Every structure is written in C-alpha cells, then in structure tokens.
C-alpha cells in the first residue's frame, strides 16, 4: 500500500470518529432538550381549602414525585408556623409549667422536622418523557387527629422512661436519656403545627416536664470517685476534665455521697531500641457502681518514644492516652459502647 493510500484511509477513519462523536453529542443534547409538559392541574392547586391541604410534586420516578408532593404538604404546614428564625432558649413551656432544659437550637425547618402522615390521597398522576407528576391531598382533620395521637405517645414514652429509672443504675439511666431532646423537639414540632391549624392541644403533658427535671437531677446527683496510681497524674487530669465537660463531678477521696467509682490501672512497659527510649502504657478503666458491681470496662493502649530518657517517653505515653480518650469520647473510652 502506498503512502498516499495510507493517508486517505487515515482521513476516512478520522472522519468516522468525528461523525460518531457528533452523533453522541447530538443525542445527549436532544435528551437534555426533551420538553416537559406539565398537566394543567399541576399549576392550579386548590388553596385555602377548609377541609383539605393540596400539593403537587414531580420527579424522575413515580416514587420521587410522591415524595416531592409530601414535602410540599409539610412546607405548607410550616409556612403557617412562625418558627423559622433560629434562637437559643433556656426554658421550654409545657402546659403552663416552665422547666429547665439545656440550650438547644430551636430552628424548625421543613427538612429536619418533616412529618409523615397517613391518609394521603393521590388524585392525579401524569407522565411525560421527563418523569412523573402527581397531585395529592390530605384532610386537615386527619392531620389534627394524628398529631394529637403523637403527643399522647410522647407522654407515654416519657412515663416509661421515668419508670425505668427506679430499676436501673443512675449513671446508666442518665447516659441513656441525657439526650432526650428528640422528645422535646417532637413536642415542639407537633404543638407548632396544631397551633397553626388553630387547634389547642388537649393533651395534658405531665410526664414530659417531669422527665426533663429528673434527667437534670440525675446528672447533678452523680459523684464519681477516681482511684488510680500516683504515676497517672496526667491521665487522671484528662479523665477529670472530660467528665467535667459532661457536667459530672469527680473526687479522689472517699465520701458517703459517692455514686460510682472509676478504677484506673496502668501497666508501663519500657524498652530501648538503639538510642530511643520507648514507653507503652496499658490502661484498664473499670467503672463500678456504689455496690461494687462492674458496669463497664475498657483498655486503652498508648505509647511514645524519646531520645532523652524514659521519663520523657512515659509523659509522652500519658499525653497519647489523653489524645486517644478525647478522640474516642469519654463514654466509649470507659467502655460504654452502646451509649
């Protein structure tokens, strides 16, 4: 084959490649330009209906279109709730009783506070090349009934948690319920929507405010004694600091008010490799209740090395222990893995 013929064949092959690329780009462009024909009912949503809340939604699939409509129902409800601004509050109001509660961000929005309702009716469903369109509605009375039932369930849940306190260790109970914000948030969400629907909740909330009080009382009642070797001064300091951040008081002496004891047992292994002094610290952390029953245990291994001496490497191993405790979190460090 001559050089001229080779050149012709190369140009033909290049032209085919260019043609294929153009066809591919054209098909992609045509897919992106598919017309979206929304049905007439999609733009004509019934508003201010005294019996129903209407919404529409669209999506690539029927399932996503329905989810979009349900989100629109939530958004309509929250449009009526004047809780869009973020603020920090130190007290929450339940019934007419004010109870202390830790500061929380009270921002309520349609994503974090989205509710799932039963009794949704899908009146219209349409499809075009781009996806699906749906029209949905729900009775306002259904929403009111469900929210009132939800408030009653919150009260039952709070009562059950309070009853568990008498049968559980105080620390275990507090750890399991110290972040009971979800119950208070659920209460706020549901009362907010009911108020927007011009409904005054008839549920008398007795156990929910009591729960907040008991959680705070349990925390303030905890007094943990730390028992350790004198060599662990740095490690003791970080343990006390981490517990203090949780609002838990600690002590190293014996007092009648002590509710729990944390025993810190450390084993230091030292070796030298070349000019390097190496210290590995094996720390057992055991948490006992007032009767000596073990509630949790865990081992933390830390190490450090020094070119100077063992004392420097030992201090480094203690600092590494502190870093590991901060990284793991105080409760996981103590062996409360399910908290």
Q: Rounded to an integer, what distance in angstroms lies between the CA atom of residue 199 and that of residue 207?
A: 22
pLDDT at 107: 43
Cβ contact 235:228 at 8 Å:
yes
Q: Rounded to an integer, what distance in angstroms lies between the CA atom of residue 94 and that of residue 71?
A: 28
3 state SS of 226: strand
pLDDT at 49: 82
Q: Strands, E, within 111-206: which ranges?
A: 121-128, 131-139
* DSSP code of residue 118: S
For the chain, the residue count is 339
Of 51, 52, 43, residue with least CA distance to 73: 52
Each of the 339 residues of the chain gets a pLDDT tens digit; together they read: 554 455 545 555 655 666 665 555 555 555 544 556 788 888 877 777 889 999 999 999 999 999 999 998 888 887 766 543 333 343 345 554 544 443 333 444 444 456 788 899 999 999 988 899 999 999 999 999 999 999 999 999 999 999 999 999 999 999 999 988 788 888 888 888 888 887 776 667 889 999 999 999 999 999 999 999 888 888 899 999 999 999 999 999 999 999 999 999 999 998 989 889 999 999 999 999 999 999 999 999 999 989 989 889 998 998 999 999 999 999 999 999 776
- Residue 138 bridge partners (DSSP): 53
Helix (H) or strand (E) run with residue 143 in it: helix 140-165
DSSP 27-69: HHHHHHT------HHHH----S-SSEEEEEEEESSHHHHHHHH
pLDDT at 117: 85
Query: Strands 97-105 and 52-59: what pairing?
Result: unpaired
**Side-chain-facing half-sphere of 119: CA atoms under 13 Å:** 13
Cβ contact 136:123 at 8 Å:
yes
pLDDT at 311: 87
């Amino acid at each position: 084959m001559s050089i001229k013929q080779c050149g012709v064949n190369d140009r033909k092959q290049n032209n085919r490649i260019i043609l294929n690329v153009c066809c591919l780009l054209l098909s992609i462009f045509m897919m992106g330009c598919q017309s979206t024909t929304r049905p007439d009912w999609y733009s004509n949503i019934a508003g201010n209906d005294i019996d129903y809340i209407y919404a529409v939604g669209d999506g690539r699939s029927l399932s996503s279109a329905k989810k979009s409509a349900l989100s629109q129902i939530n958004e309509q409800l929250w449009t009526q709730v004047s809780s869009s601004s973020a603020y920090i509050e130190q007290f929450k109001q339940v019934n007419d009783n004010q109870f202390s509660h830790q500061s929380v961000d009270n921002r309520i929005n349609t994503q974090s506070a989205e509710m799932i309702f039963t009794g949704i009716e899908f009146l219209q469903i349409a499809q075009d090349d781009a996806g699906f369109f749906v029209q949905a509605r729900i009775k306002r009375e259904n929403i009111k009934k469900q929210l009132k039932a939800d408030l009653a369930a919150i009260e039952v849940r709070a009562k059950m948690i309070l009853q568990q306190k008498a049968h559980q260790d105080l620390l275990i109970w507090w750890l399991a319920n110290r972040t009971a914000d979800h119950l208070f948030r659920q209460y706020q969400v549901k009362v907010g929507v009911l108020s927007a629907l011009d409904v005054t909740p008839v549920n008398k909330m007795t156990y929910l405010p009591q729960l907040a009080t008991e959680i705070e009382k349990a925390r303030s009642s905890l007094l943990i004694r730390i028992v350790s070797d004198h060599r662990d001064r740095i490690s003791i300091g970080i343990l006390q600091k981490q517990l203090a951040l949780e609002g838990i008081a600690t002590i190293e002496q014996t007092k009648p008010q002590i509710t729990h004891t944390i025993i810190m047992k450390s084993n230091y292994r030292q070796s030298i490799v070349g000019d390097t002094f190496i210290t590995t610290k094996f720390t057992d952390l055991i948490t006992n209740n007032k009767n000596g029953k073990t509630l949790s245990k865990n081992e933390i291994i830390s190490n450090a090395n020094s070119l100077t001496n063992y004392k420097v490497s030992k201090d480094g191993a203690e600092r590494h222990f502190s870093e590991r405790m901060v990284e793991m979190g105080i409760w996981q460090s103590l062996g409360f893995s399910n908290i």
